[in-house]
A and B are shown apart, each in its own frame.
Chain A
Amino acid sequence: MMSDWSHEIVLAASILSWFIIGAGLAQTTIYLLQLIIAAYALSKRPPVARSALLWHRYGDVAPPIALLVPAYNEELNVVESVHSMLALEYPNFEVIVINDGSKDQTLQRLIGAFKLVKFHRPYEEALAHKPIRGLYSSPMTERLFVVDKENGGKADAQNAGINVCRAPLFCVIDGDSILEPDALMRAAQPFIDDPERTIAVGGTIRIANGSRIEAGRVREIHLPNRLLPLLQVVEYLRAFLMARLAWSHINTLMLVSGAFGMFRRTEVVAVGGFTMGSMGEDLDLVIKLHRHMRDAGRKYRIQFIPEPVCWTEAPETLSVLARQRTRWQRGALECFFRHRAMLFNPRYGRVGFLGFGHILIVDVLGPVAEVLGYILIPAFWLLGILSTEYLLAFTSLIFTYGVCVSVCSLVLEEAELQRFPRARDLAVLTAVAVIENFGYRQLNNFWRVKGWWQYLRADQSWGEMTRTGLSGAKK
């Protein structure tokens, strides 16, 4: 009887181990494929033209853009951010700051800094959102409008901004972020070259911690001084340079970051705008756009281009980072299950197979399998259920392939873009790309499993994002 039990336990352990290793293998294969596609896409992409040339080339035909800036308790950065946005190099744009019922002095700071006065502006109530308390304009600049509304969350604020804006294109950006001066011009380029098919464009988000920032501009790029944001630099590099570039190349890009993305207003209105109360409103919007365009049988492009850069502040403490990551995980799960009908649905082509397949393996199954593996694989090996061969296979999937993928992302960045100014930065980042696989990766997966748990418990709390302010970066 006992030997029967042990046989079944060994069988169950083997099946579980195969599942864990299989999920790891699938994830690693996806990463390696992404690397290859991203390398191909970068090699085919012409080198970047200088900003002055872009202006010379596209200045006369650049379409109007509305920059939507939802701000909730952003009193620390908002004035400096708006100043830097108003100084962007683009011929025709307006900045619409949406004060989403902030509890701090966000609105008062804006009123004081830009001498705002109440203003009436007719707009189309195409999307639903919480009531607007007032619109403000500035006698100092005709480019700035502030929408003061009741609190409804980021998606709600963005929808209000979409209603109020009049430009055919809008760009969403976080209130605490800083755009490179030529970012709008670069992001608008696909809308100029291929205006009919391009419906959304995402740019690169980079971490500003440690860089020298003056008057809302990143003047000198430096790596963060602290380990946690440094680890995130490599992580962002992997996410933006490798993953998004690869998916964009095969028109399966599932995420245009809410921190910086440009969209065609008509299509966004057609899909009902951002989903209110969503944890992953940016992911959700892009999935809805894919769905809408494929249902309508229209040709379209959702593109990622690495050149337009938006700088953001990365969390510097474990608690804030943990909240951010659990929220991202809940967002991914929520979108996956909300649109699950698209998974492997031939009607949605590569979006259903590759895009959703990627979310399934990397975001839905990946963290659970990996965390299970941390506990079970060594335990099975110690109990003698699993051979050393399996233990090493799991170890390689977690650690050594991780090192390879992270370092290769850095290789791509250096070979094609060279955005880190010093050779010393590269050496530091190479070291970080190695060590992030020993501790940080595991921590991240733990937060993601926590996000899973919160999702199952239907926990919808957003969590406070404590900011130190980008102006507090190195001066």
Chain B
Amino acid sequence: MWYVWDLSILLSAVSLVIMLFLIVRRVLQERRGRVQIDQRRQLHTALIAFTENRDREALKVVVLAVPAGVAINAGFEFISLLRGEEYDDVLAAFNECGLPALVGSQLEKGNGAERIHAAEMLAALRSENAVASLLSALDRDRSREVRIAAAIALCDLGSLPPLDIALGKVGVVGQRSRRLIELFRRFPPARFEELRDHAARTDAVPFIRAAAIDALARAAGFHFADFFARATGDQSPEVAAAALRALGLTGHAEAPAILASAMANGDWDVRAAAADAAGRLGLAGLAAPLSALMDDEAWTVRYAAANALRSFGQPGERLLRDIAASEVSRSQRTASLILAEGPAA
């Protein structure tokens, strides 16, 4: 039993010594922190002065006088506030001071959060070597989050490799990150066809296909309506629901028939998306299937159907009132709840 006592004394003493060391370290950090705040202030003042007088040499003197870490972080924050000519001028000054090279080395050697941040900064700094550094990160970085950040940055710089290759490098197995949606939303119009082709691949991951459809619907509009119409019949409910949402944004000549059929789908997400799309497109001809959906077992579907009917204006409201006045049922309850929504009388 003595060892229990001895070990406890030893561990306590060691923990107290380490703590003491950390307190001393903190005292030193506090001093260093105060200096860094001054340096940031100095740099910000120089940057503000630069936007007024465009004296690049004066700015470079200050940038080079502060530690690289301070210059990179404070500089990136500042340029995110600038636009147009001012932005380009500050960027040129940063490039002349060699900041992009430092960011590039941060992308290679930093920890996870620093590498993601470095990828974002490289996209903003638009230096000569940015694309090479980002491609290398996309290729080799061990963290998927960093690879996605590199892909987004490359997309912003217009240098993302072909989508299938880029996704292969990011890694698609088990991929569910919503950051992919961010990547797709940044796609340039000239490359929308690539997104469509990927979304059409039945062997691809449904989440990624659905994300591609969502991005296309927001950015490309009616141009891909035919594709969305076809995708509504996809075997994956996730893809079919995304296609229905897209169709709700773009519209399509076949939309009434497609939506009516989707309202009978076995997956509630698909039924809800179909009801929602019908409401968005104002397809009053679908009032009958929507009324039927108000008895759906899933509340989300009932609510989407009732909302769609309400969005049809007078005829829809009349129908809702009729249902609300009928015998007590799930449809009747949903209708009365929807009609009651809004400020109380």
Chain A positions within 8 Å of B, measured between CB atoms, are: 21, 25, 46-49, 52-53, 56-58, 60-61, 63, 117-124, 126, 134, 137, 192-197, 387, 389-390, 392-393, 395-397, 400-401, 403-404, 407-408, 410-411, 414-415, 418, 422-423, 426-427, 430, 434
Is B295 close to A, CB under 8 A? Answer: no
Report the Cα distance A415→B14, complex, angstroms: 15
The answer to whether A118 and B344 touch (CB under 8 A), given A53-B120, A192-B178, A414-B22, is yes
Report the Cα distance A387→B300, complex, angstroms: 69
Q: Contact: B114 with A47, CB < 8 Å?
A: yes
Min C-beta distance of B218 to chain A, whole Å: 10
The answer to whether A393 and B26 touch (CB under 8 A), given A53-B117, A122-B340, is no
Which residues of chain A have C-beta atoms less than 8 A from B178's C-beta? Answer: 58, 61, 63, 192-193, 195
The answer to whether A119 and B343 touch (CB under 8 A), given A390-B1, A404-B12, is yes
Which residues of chain B have C-beta atoms less than 8 A from A25's C-beta? Answer: 4
- Extra A-B contacts (19), CB below 8 Å, given A122-B340, A422-B30: A47-B114, A49-B113, A49-B116, A53-B117, A57-B179, A119-B344, A120-B341, A123-B337, A196-B176, A197-B176, A393-B4, A393-B5, A396-B5, A396-B7, A401-B8, A404-B14, A407-B19, A426-B22, A434-B16
Contact of A401 (CB < 8 Å), options: B12, B18, B177: B12
Is B314 close to A, CB under 8 A? Answer: no
Chain B residues 1-50 with CB under 8 Å of chain A are 1-2, 4-5, 7-9, 11-12, 14-16, 18-20, 22-23, 26-27, 30
Chain B residues 135-193 with CB under 8 Å of chain A are 145, 149, 176-179, 181-182, 185
The answer to whether A423 and B23 touch (CB under 8 A), given A47-B114, A192-B177, A195-B178, is yes
The answer to whether A57 and B120 touch (CB under 8 A), given A192-B179, A193-B145, is yes
Which residues of chain B have C-beta atoms less than 8 A from A117's C-beta? Answer: 343-344
Is B303 close to A, CB under 8 A? Answer: yes
Q: Contact: B23 with A124, CB < 8 Å?
A: no
Q: Contact: B337 with A122, CB < 8 Å?
A: yes
Min C-beta distance of A369 to chain B, whole Å: 15
Q: Contact: B2 with A392, CB < 8 Å?
A: yes
Residue with the greatest number of chain B CB neighbours at <10 A, chosen from A124, A389, A397: A124
Is B342 close to A, CB under 8 A? Answer: yes
Report the Cα distance A404→B334, complex, angstroms: 60
What would 27 A/B residue contacts be, using CB atoms closer than 8 Å?
A46-B112, A48-B113, A52-B77, A53-B117, A57-B116, A60-B182, A61-B182, A117-B344, A119-B344, A120-B343, A122-B337, A124-B303, A195-B178, A389-B5, A392-B1, A393-B5, A396-B7, A397-B8, A403-B12, A404-B14, A404-B15, A411-B19, A411-B22, A414-B22, A414-B26, A423-B23, A430-B16
Which residues of chain B have C-beta atoms less than 8 A from A411's C-beta? Answer: 15, 18-19, 22
* Total residues of chain B contacting the partner, CB 8 A: 51
Closest to A124 in B: B299
Is B235 close to A, CB under 8 A? Answer: no
Is B338 close to A, CB under 8 A? Answer: yes
Q: Contact: A415 with B22, CB < 8 Å?
A: yes
Min C-beta distance of A388 to chain B, whole Å: 9
Report the Cα distance A123→B340, complex, angstroms: 11
Which residues of chain A have C-beta atoms less than 8 A from B9's C-beta? Answer: 396, 400
Nearest 3 Cβ contacts at the A-B interface: A46-B112, A122-B337, A124-B299
Is B111 close to A, CB under 8 A? Answer: yes
Closest to B344 in A: A118
Which residues of chain B have C-beta atoms less than 8 A from A52's C-beta? Answer: 77
Which residues of chain B have C-beta atoms less than 8 A from A195's C-beta? Answer: 176-178
Chain B residues 248-279 with CB under 8 Å of chain A are none
Contact of A426 (CB < 8 Å), options: B12, B19, B120: B19
- Residues 52-83 of chain B: 1 if any A CB is under 8 Å from the residue's CB, otherwise 0? 00000000000000000000000001001000
Q: Contact: A122 with B338, CB < 8 Å?
A: yes
Closest to A45 in B: B112
The answer to whether A118 and B5 touch (CB under 8 A), given A124-B299, A193-B145, A401-B11, is no
Q: Contact: B334 with A389, CB < 8 Å?
A: no
Report the Cα distance A68→B320, complex, angstroms: 31
Report the Cα distance A13→B265, complex, angstroms: 70
Report the Cα distance A415→B19, complex, angstroms: 9
Min C-beta distance of B306 to chain A, whole Å: 8
Which residues of chain A have C-beta atoms less than 8 A from B344's C-beta? Answer: 117-120, 134
Report the Cα distance A411→B8, complex, angstroms: 17
Which residues of chain A have C-beta atoms less than 8 A from B77's C-beta? Answer: 52
Chain B residues 318-345 with CB under 8 Å of chain A are 334, 337-338, 340-344
Closest to B207 in A: A196
Q: Contact: A61 with B342, CB < 8 Å?
A: no
Min C-beta distance of B239 to chain A, whole Å: 15
Which residues of chain B have C-beta atoms less than 8 A from A120's C-beta? Answer: 337, 340-344
Closest to B112 in A: A46
Report the Cα distance A21→B334, complex, angstroms: 62
Residue with the greatest number of chain B CB neighbours at <10 A, chosen from A58, A407, A411, A426: A407
Report the Cα distance A403→B9, complex, angstroms: 10
Which residues of chain A have C-beta atoms less than 8 A from B16's C-beta? Answer: 403, 407, 430, 434
Min C-beta distance of B273 to chain A, whole Å: 14
Report the Cα distance A119→B112, complex, angstroms: 47
Contact of B23 (CB < 8 Å), options: A387, A403, A427: A427
Report the Cα distance A396→B149, complex, angstroms: 50
Report the Cα distance A52→B113, complex, angstroms: 14
Chain B residues 68-114 with CB under 8 Å of chain A are 77, 80, 111-114
The answer to whether A46 and B179 touch (CB under 8 A), given A25-B4, A120-B341, A400-B8, is no
Which residues of chain B have C-beta atoms less than 8 A from A194's C-beta? Answer: 176-177
Which residues of chain A have C-beta atoms less than 8 A from B343's C-beta? Answer: 117-120, 137
Which residues of chain A have C-beta atoms less than 8 A from B4's C-beta? Answer: 25, 392-393, 396-397
Report the Cα distance A407→B15, complex, angstroms: 6
Closest to A401 in B: B8
Which residues of chain B have C-beta atoms less than 8 A from A414's C-beta? Answer: 19, 22-23, 26
Closest to A188 in B: B178
Report the Cα distance A177→B112, complex, angstroms: 32
Closest to B14 in A: A404
Min C-beta distance of B115 to chain A, whole Å: 8
- Residues 179-216 of chain B: 1 if any A CB is under 8 Å from the residue's CB, otherwise 0? 10110010000000000000000000001000000000
Closest to A52 in B: B77
Report the Cα distance A120→B80, complex, angstroms: 43
Report the Cα distance A197→B207, complex, angstroms: 13
Which residues of chain B have C-beta atoms less than 8 A from A49's C-beta? Answer: 113, 116-117
Which residues of chain A have C-beta atoms less than 8 A from B303's C-beta? Answer: 122, 124
Which residues of chain B have C-beta atoms less than 8 A from A427's C-beta? Answer: 23
Report the Cα distance A52→B185, complex, angstroms: 20
Chain B residues 278-312 with CB under 8 Å of chain A are 299-300, 303, 306
The answer to whether A126 and B299 touch (CB under 8 A), given A119-B344, A192-B178, is yes
Report the Cα distance A285→B266, complex, angstroms: 30
